[in-house]
Amino acid sequence: MKYVSTSTRRARALLGALALSVTLFGCGGKLELPNPSGATDIGGPTMTSSAPTPPGWNPKDVVPQSQQQAQDTLLGYLQRTVSGLPPGITFDANRFGGVGSGNVGCDDDATTADASTRFNVAFDIKVPPGTDNATLFQAVGDVWRSWGWYVYERDGFRKPNLFGFSPDGYVLRIVTAARDGFPPGLEGSTPCFPVNLARNDIAFPTVITP
C-alpha cells in the first residue's frame, strides 16, 4: 500500500477545495486561478515569498467531530471577519445560485470508505461604492492577524491576495477577481474530517453580515 505523507494529503486537500472554487468566481462564474505545483507544510502551492510565522506559531488541526461543528466554526470565523471590517461590507454568495458551499474530498486518490472530506465556502465581498481594494485587503489582513493567524500574500495567485491560516486548521482567503468590475472573492475551508460524518442537509448562510 502506497504511503502518502501528511503534508501531501494536506496539499491535495487544499487543492481539492481550489478545484471547487474554479467553478465559482470571476466573469461568468469562473475563478480562473492557476494551479502552481508543489506543496508546503500547510498545504497549497509552493510559495516563493511569505511572511514570518507569528511568535509561538504551532498549528494543529482540530478535527471537526460533526458536519455541524465544521460549519459552525467556519461560520464563526467568517462572522468575526465581517464584523471587524468597515461598515457596509457583506459576504454574498447569491451569484453562485446556491452552489457556493459544499464538501470536497481531501485526497483525490482515496478509494476507501473511511476517506476524509472538508467543507468549503465561497462568497463575493460586497463593498460600498468607492471602496479601495488595497484598503479592503489591508483591513481583512489586520482582522486575521489580530487573532494570531498566519497571514500573507501568496505567489501564483492574482494580486493582491491574502491567505489566513488559523492555528486549528481553518483557512480563509481573499483574492482579486479575474476580471475588472467584479468584487474580490472570499473562500473558507475547514480541516479534514471523516467522510462518514459528512452531511449535505445543513444550510449555510448565503449572506453574512456584521
Q: How far apart are CA 163 and CA 174, in angstroms?
A: 7
> Are the beta carbons of 171 and 191 closer than 8 angstroms?
no
Confidence of residue 95 (pLDDT cuts 50, 70, 90): confident
The beta strands (E) that lie in 106-199 are given as 116-126, 150-152, 161-165, 171-175, 185-189, 193-194
Cell of 12: 491535495
pLDDT category at 38 given cuts 50, 70, 90 is very low
| Residue 30: other Cβ atoms inside 10 A | 14
- Report how far apart, in Å, the C-alpha atoms of 46 and of each of 6, 21, 25 are: 16, 19, 22
Q: Are strands 90-92 and 116-126 parallel, antiparallel or unpaired?
A: antiparallel
Distances (CA, A) of 210 to 41, 129, 148: 33, 18, 21
Q: Give the separation between CA 97 and CA 47, rounded to whole angstroms.
A: 33
What cell numbers appear for 190 in the block? 475547514
d(CA 17, CA 10): 11
**Using omega within 30 degrees of 0 as the cis cutoff, is the peptide bond preceding 160 cis?**
yes
Sequence-distant (≥ 6) Cβ neighbours of residue 111 within 8 angstroms: none
pLDDT in tens, 147-158: 999 999 998 899
102-150 pLDDT, tens per residue?
Answer: 999 998 776 666 789 999 999 999 999 998 888 999 999 999 999 999 9
User: Measured between alpha carbons, how far is 117 from 158 in angstroms, rounded to an integer?
Assistant: 27
Confidence label for 55 from pLDDT (cuts 50, 70 and 90): confident
pLDDT(193) > 90? yes
